[in-house]
């Protein structure tokens, strides 16, 4: 299973735009997830967070984190050697 | 429901993502209890290190965060907490000592359960649970240790071990009727047959193997380097980066003040390159070469020796002389050295 495989499995819709973006380039697990959780606490329900990461395994961890917390994983795209992952904050999410 | 508040009972659990913590959480979820999992990032997780190296062809499943995977499987929220500097201090000065390797298992449990208690005070919760199994691990999971951990954390009566509950006195959550003791388990010992049967019954098939194999502190090779570091550096002066470097490469102690790390492959070269600015680094020129980092202040003869060791692991190891660059900040010196003999090398290996 390659990172590209995961990316193709959950491609973000091309028109999707984020309300807030965080840059976690150069950071490895689990720091990007910790930063994502912190950022989600600061945005309103329904808003979309974009997480930029160069850690390919985040394509496994982010959907798992979303399934556990109740937020909605919207997919990822690749640009300039980095992954851009999109998450919509759920109403009444568990964390 | 709690009798006092009429709301659902909430349990805070330590979730490594291993089979035991996953099953412990599942036991409580099945009783209708709200479960929040805490996953501590200690800096000593092998999965996290594989991820930082990201060797070509490495299966991403071997690098995923197992706590998040467990949370997704069980549909319970997972909070990932950075254990940070306080954890490192504990690892370097464990009050209850080390196990067979560099594993301060009792202090580690106390640290995490303290953390869970703090989390519960801040975010609410009725009790704490873990996936500990009586008699499974020699240092931290015998009866005396389980009692000690609970006592030192100041949460006596409010720490539930669902998998071994029938071997332990009833906790307050059981006495208060928040948890049905009859639906808890009576597992003990090192065999994992019962846990595997439960996982089969509940369809939990995607858990890491082997159990407990993810912590560098319990690794023999890491432990040798760890104790060498403690022996040669004042413990209070040991930084987090030095701990990170213990996970990578071949380590050789050349003197009380000088140790070197020689990368084993391109991924380790890349990894070590991030730390090359901290002191002397060595690289054979115009050939495939490991990056070698030196800790301490090597004098000129020692730099020649380090160059010889670097040459030994370069692609020109069979040549009589190899040119090696030794760099420190903006300074570079070039050394023509013979690759060191393997028999000599072994005396310095940590």
- Report residue B6's pLDDT band, with 50, 70 and 90 as the boundaries: confident
Select the more confidently predicted residue: B133 or B54: B133
> Is A95 within a domain?
no
Q: Would you state the pLDDT for residue A3?
A: 46
Give the pair of three-digit tokens for residue B174.
């059981």
At B238 the pLDDT is 96
Q: Does residue B47 have a pLDDT over 50?
A: yes
pLDDT score recorded for residue B286: 97
**Residue A16 pLDDT greater than 70, yes or no:** yes
Structural contact between residues B92 and B230, judged by C-beta atoms closer than 8 angstroms:
yes
For residue B212, pLDDT over 60 is answered with no
Q: Is B68–A33 a contact, with Cβ atoms under 8 angstroms apart?
A: yes
Per-residue pLDDT tens digits for B115-155: 999 999 999 999 999 999 999 987 778 889 889 999 999 99
CA B30 to mean position of chain CA atoms: 30
The CATH number of residue A10's host domain is 3.30.110.40
What is the pLDDT at residue B214? 85
Distance CA B55, CA A40 (A): 31
User: Alpha-carbon torsion B217, B218, B222, B226, what sign?
Assistant: positive
> What Cα–Cα distance (Å) separates residue A63 from each residue in A6, A12, A70?
11, 12, 10
Structural domain that includes position A11:
3-88
Q: What is the pLDDT of residue B333?
A: 98
Per annotation, catalytic residue among A29, A34, A57, A64: A29
Q: Where are the alpha helices (DSSP H) in chain A?
A: 3-9, 31-42, 58-69
**Spatial distance between the Cα atoms of B193 and B23, rounded to a whole number of angstroms:** 13
Residue B63 has its nearest CB partner, among A34, A37, A57, at A57
Secondary structure of residue B236 in the 3-state scheme: helix
Q: Shortest CB distance from A64 goes to which of B41, B59, B72?
A: B72
Domains of chain B: 10-216 (3.40.50.620), 248-346 (no CATH)
> Does the pLDDT at position B2 exceed 70?
no
Task: State the pLDDT confidence band at B210, using cuts at 50, 70 and 90.
Answer: low
Q: Is residue A93 part of a domain?
A: no
CA-angle at B154, arms to B148 and B160, nearest 5° = 70
Q: Kindly tell me if the per-residue pLDDT of A94 is higher than 80.
A: no
Structural domains in chain A (count): 1
Say what the ipTM of the complex is. Answer: 0.91
Total beta-carbon pairs less than 8 A apart between chain A and chain B:
86
* Structural domain contains residue A48: yes
Are B292 and B302 within 8 A, CB to CB? no
Q: Is B210 exposed, middle or buried (0-12, 13-18, 19+ CB in 10 A)?
A: exposed
């Amino acid at each position: 299973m390659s990172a590209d495989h995961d990316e193709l499995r959950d491609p973000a819709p091309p028109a999707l735009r984020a309300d807030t973006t965080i840059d976690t380039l150069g950071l490895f697990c689990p720091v990007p997830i910790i930063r994502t959780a912190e950022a989600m606490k600061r945005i309103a329900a329904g808003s979309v967070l974009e997480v930029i990461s160069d850690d390919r395994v985040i394509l496994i961890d982010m959907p798992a984190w979303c399934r556990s917390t109740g937020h909605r994983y919207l997919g990822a795209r690749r640009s300039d050697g980095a992954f851009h992952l999109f998450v919509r904050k759920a109403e009444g999410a568990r964390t | 429901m709690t009798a006092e508040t009429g709301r659902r009972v909430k349990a805070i659990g330590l979730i490594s993502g291993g089979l035991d913590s996953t099953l412990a959480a599942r036991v409580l979820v099945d009783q209708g209890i709200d479960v929040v999992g805490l996953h501590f990032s200690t800096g000593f997780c092998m999965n996290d290190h594989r991820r930082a190296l990201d060797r070509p062809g490495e299966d991403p499943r071997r690098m995923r965060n197992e706590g998040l995977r467990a949370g997704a499987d069980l549909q319970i929220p997972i909070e990932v907490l950075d254990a940070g500097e306080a954890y490192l201090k504990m690892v370097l000065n464990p009050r209850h000592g080390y196990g067979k390797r560099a594993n301060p298992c009792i202090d580690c449990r106390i640290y995490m359960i303290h953390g869970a208690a703090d989390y519960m005070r801040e975010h609410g919760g009725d009790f704490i649970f873990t996936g500990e199994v009586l008699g499974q691990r020699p240092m931290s999971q015998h009866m005396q240790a389980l009692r000690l951990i609970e006592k030192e954390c100041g949460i006596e009566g409010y720490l539930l071990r669902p998998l071994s509950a029938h071997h332990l006195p009833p906790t307050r959550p059981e006495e208060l009727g928040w948890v049905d003791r009859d639906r808890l388990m009576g597992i003990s010992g090192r065999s994992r047959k019962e846990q595997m049967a439960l996982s089969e019954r509940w369809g939990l098939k995607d858990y890491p193997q082997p159990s407990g194999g993810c912590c560098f502190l319990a690794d023999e090779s890491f432990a040798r380097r760890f104790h060498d570091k403690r022996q040669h550096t004042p413990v209070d002066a040991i930084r987090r980066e030095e701990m990170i470097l213990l996970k990578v490469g071949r380590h050789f102690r050349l003197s009380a003040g000088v140790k070197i790390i020689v990368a084993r492959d391109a991924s380790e070269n890349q990894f070590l390159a991030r730390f090359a600015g901290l002191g002397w680094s060595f690289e054979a020129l115009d050939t495939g070469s490991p990056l070698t980092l030196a800790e301490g202040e090597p004098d000129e003869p020692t730099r020649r020796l380090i160059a010889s060791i670097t040459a030994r692991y370069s692609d020109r190891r069979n040549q009589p002389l190899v040119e090696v660059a030794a760099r420190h900040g903006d300074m570079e010196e070039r050394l023509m050295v013979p690759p060191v003999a393997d028999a000599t090398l072994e005396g310095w290996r940590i």
